[in-house]
Amino acid sequence: AQSVTQPDIHITVSEGASLELRCNYSYGATPYLFWYVQSPGQGLQLLLKYFSGDTLVQGIKGFEAEFKRSQSSFNLRKPSVHWSDAAEYFCAVGARVGYGNKLVFGAGTILRVKS
Amino acid sequence: NAGVTQTPKFRVLKTGQSMTLLCAQDMNHEYMYWYRQDPGMGLRLIHYSVGEGTTAKGEVPDGYNVSRLKKQNFLLGLESAAPSQTSVYFCASSYREGANIQYFGAGTRLSVL
């Protein structure tokens, strides 16, 4: 069965510091991988996605993620964090179900940014 | 461009009451989904639909029913609400082709007392 692990429940970084959020997945085939962000009281917004090809993908708000098949990882990075990045981040893998895909989510990582 | 709209945004129920959550999308997406979000558990799929008139069970379907009578609407029903159904419910929709990027609504916060 497909699964996603986000090892860090909470992460605190200083504004301007770099950020890496970890994500490991389990999936038998080539995965579709996603990072979503959820601000308090809001829905989920897609940050970036990996389907195939270049293993380093760029997203919105200055985020990037690197797909490493050998490590079954899809870590999210940002070189310099802004206070507005404080939110909860979810990694997800797209799994085939019937004629379509469903998303299997990790438990999320809450990012706190200190000034 | 409204995207995915969920109503209501908040609701408080008593145990045993029933209610229906409405999801509407204006992107002509074939697929629609209902998730619940609980602290420390991410989002879990309740039911989904791959087209008008079709529905299927997800990971946690017990206690819920769904209907997709129109392509743009996906309804989630609770026939007899239980405190364990206190959660935040998200609807999402996607195209059929490709990797099915899902677009989410703002959520419905439900408390069952």
A111 to chain B, minimum CA–CA distance in Å? 14
Q: With an 8 Å Cβ cutoff, is A106 touching chain B?
A: yes
User: What is the average pLDDT value for chain B, to the nearest integer?
Assistant: 93
A60: which residues sit within 8 A by CB, 6+ positions away? A46, A47, A48
3-state class of A89 per DSSP? Answer: strand
Q: Which of B9, B102, B103, B108 to mutate to probe the A interface, most A CBs <10 Å?
A: B102
Residue for token digits 């009281």?
A: A41
Nearest to B69 by CA among B23, B17, B37: B23
Mean pLDDT in residue range B12-33: 95
B4 contacts B89 by C-beta, under 8 angstroms: no
A40-78 CB burial, b ≥16 within 10 A, e <16:
eeebbebbbbbeeeeeebebeeebbbbbeeeebbbbbeb
Token code pair at residue B50? 């791959």
CA A81/CA A34 separation, integer angstroms: 20
A61: which residues sit within 8 A by CB, 6+ positions away? A37, A47, A78, A85
Residues of A in contact with B103 (CB under 8 A): 46
Residue for token digits 């946690």?
A: B60
| pLDDT value at residue B1 | 61
Stretches where chain A sits below pLDDT 50 are none
Mean pLDDT in residue range B56-83: 95
Q: With an 8 Å Cβ cutoff, is A40 touching chain B?
A: no
Pairing of strands A109-114, B87-94: unpaired
| pLDDT value at residue B9 | 94
3-state class of B24 per DSSP? Answer: strand
Cβ of B42 within 8 Å of Cβ of A105? The answer is: yes
User: Does pLDDT of B12 surpass 60?
Assistant: yes
| pLDDT value at residue B68 | 96
